[in-house]
Amino acid sequence: MSISNIQVAVDEKLRKEAEDLFNDLGLSMSTAVSLFLKAAVSQDGLPFSIQSPPSKEILQEAFQLFEANAIQQGLEDLEKGHTLDGEKALARLREKYGNKI
């Protein structure tokens, strides 16, 4: 087996974090990269899944659903009498978060 060198440009912080991780695992950077390459060739693709971030429309739909559920929960609490006057609510918020409110 002949050895070939690969030169890769990466962010310095990322390189350091990866190097520390691999050292903790008892691996050199070279061994870790070789393992990645072997796994990619063995799986005929990346050895992990890559997903695109959700679209703006999906995020908006999820937020609208969240809002609708929150409103529904509020209405149900109101119907059950689970209410709190404004002064008590504000006092609880101040207890929890301090006087930032």
For residue 57, the model assigns a pLDDT of 87
> At residue 99, does pLDDT exceed 80?
no
> At residue 13, does pLDDT exceed 70?
yes
- What proportion of the chain, given as a percentage, has pLDDT over 90? 48
d(CA 47, CA 39): 6
> At residue 100, does pLDDT exceed 80?
no
For residue 101, the model assigns a pLDDT of 66
User: In the 8-state DSSP scheme, what is residue 14?
Assistant: H
31 pLDDT band, cuts 50/70/90, is very high
Mean pLDDT of the chain: 90
Structure tokens, 25: 């695992």
- Would you list the domain boundaries of the chain? 1-50, 56-100
